[in-house]
């Protein structure tokens, strides 16, 4: 079992009254599953993801990640687990604005003791994996929202984590860019990645094979998706990307997680959207 959560509770005591944000949550996720987390605002999704990611600790209960009991680790132990086992993708991207895509993706490897050549090689491979081979020297303000999110995914992948956690990774993107991100996640999942993704959109959740629902801090439903939507098929239905449409991306064919549009064709659109990409 990749993720094993039992009797998990989280109580915040920061305000005047304690907030019971998670109540007796139980969940098991096998290696290789693709799970989405849904629920109204305030239902506990972020709290749950923060605990899964080792960014916060539960008040009580057990959380095992890849066999390691996380809830009993100290800060140093937790930081190690985060660095080695978990890849994060956030809605607001969290990239360093002054650094190129390549340097951003190299960041998680800086502390892993790899030499510069190995770092560049692995970062380049990760960027190729998300279809950004031709953009490795671009800075975030030279990329579309969808491309920035792909850099963030490459960065999350580069240490080969046991699990990928994504909090609203398509939340700031248009339909096509969102589908492109889902195509990458589906591709990674088919190669064996375990992924847990928070989304407010059912259309996005239906790309995963299991949806769990939170309400008032409780995990109230856990359902299997019989025929998950295939993002590559959805992209075909959307038709060809319009050259002038803001933030349109480049993945347009099955398996084509590579650049389909020559660099020069996208430059003008990029210039037009500078500044609103994040």
Q: How does DSSP assign 172-229, residue by residue?
A: TS-HHHHHHHHHHHHHHHHTT-EEEEE-S-HHHHTTSSEEEEEETTEEEEEEE-SSPP
What is the nearest approach in angstroms of ligand ATP to the Cβ of residue 178? 17
What span, in angstroms and rounded, lies between the C-alpha atoms of 27 and 106? 33
Q: How many helices (H) and strands (E) does the chain have?
A: 9, 10
Judged by DSSP in three states, 50 sits in helix
Q: Which is nearer to ligand ATP, 22 or 29 (CB)?
A: 22
Please tell me what DSSP assigns to residue 3.
Answer: E
Please tell me what DSSP assigns to residue 277.
Answer: -
Q: Which residues pair with 272 in a beta bridge?
A: none
Q: Which is nearer to ligand ATP, 49 or 70 (CB)?
A: 49
Q: Which is nearer to ligand ATP, 60 or 245 (CB)?
A: 60
Q: Strands 60-65, 218-224: parallel, antiparallel or unpaired by DSSP?
A: unpaired
Q: Which is nearer to ligand ATP, 106 or 168 (CB)?
A: 168
Q: Which is nearer to ligand ATP, 15 or 239 (CB)?
A: 15
Q: Which is nearer to ligand ATP, 43 or 234 (CB)?
A: 43
What is the nearest approach in angstroms of ligand ATP to the Cβ of residue 214? 6
Q: Which is nearer to ligand ATP, 41 or 227 (CB)?
A: 41
What is the nearest approach in angstroms of ligand ATP to the Cβ of residue 17? 10
Please check whether residue 225 is in contact with residue 206, taking contact to mean a CB–CB distance below 8 angstroms: yes
What span, in angstroms and rounded, lies between the C-alpha atoms of 175 and 219? 28
Neighbouring residues of 191: CB distance < 8 A, sequence distance ≥ 6: none
The 3-class secondary structure across 62-93, one letter per residue, is EEEECCEECCCCCHHHHHHHHHHHEEEEECCC
Q: Which is nearer to ligand ATP, 84 or 200 (CB)?
A: 200
User: H or E stretch including 268?
Assistant: helix 263-273
- Which positions touch ligand ATP (CB under 6 A)? 12, 14-15, 19, 21, 39, 41-47
Please check whether residue 204 is in contact with residue 38, taking contact to mean a CB–CB distance below 8 angstroms: no
């Amino acid at each position: 079992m990749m993720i094993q959560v039992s009797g998990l509770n989280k109580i915040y005591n920061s305000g005047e009254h304690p907030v019971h944000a998670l109540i007796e949550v139980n969940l098991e996720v096998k290696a290789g599953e693709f799970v989405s987390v849904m629920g109204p605002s305030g239902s506990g999704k972020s709290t749950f993801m923060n605990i899964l990611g080792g960014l916060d600790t539960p008040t009580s209960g057990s959380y095992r990640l890849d066999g390691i009991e996380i809830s009993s680790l100290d800060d140093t132990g937790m930081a190690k687990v985060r660095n080695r086992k978990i890849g994060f993708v956030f809605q607001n991207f969290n990239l360093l604005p002054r650094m190129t895509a390549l340097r951003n993706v190299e960041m998680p490897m800086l502390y892993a003791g790899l030499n510069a050549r190995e770092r560049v090689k692995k970062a380049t491979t990760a960027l190729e994996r998300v279809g950004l081979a031709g953009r490795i020297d671009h800075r975030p303000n030279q990329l579309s929202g969808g491309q920035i999110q792909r850099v963030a995914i490459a960065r999350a992948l580069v240490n080969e984590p046991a699990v990928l956690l994504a909090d609203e990774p398509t939340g700031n993107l248009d339909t096509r860019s969102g589908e492109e991100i889902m195509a990458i996640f589906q591709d990674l999942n088919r190669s064996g990645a375990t992924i847990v993704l928070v989304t407010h959109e059912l259309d996005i959740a239906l790309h995963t094979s299991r949806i769990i629902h939170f309400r008032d801090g409780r995990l109230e439903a856990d359902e299997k998706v019989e025929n998950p939507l295939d993002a590559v098929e959805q992209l075909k239905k959307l038709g060809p990307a319009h050259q002038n449409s803001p933030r349109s991306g480049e993945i347009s064919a099955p398996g084509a997680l590579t650049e389909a549009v020559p660099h020069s064709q996208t430059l003008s659109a990029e210039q037009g959207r500078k500044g609103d990409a994040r």
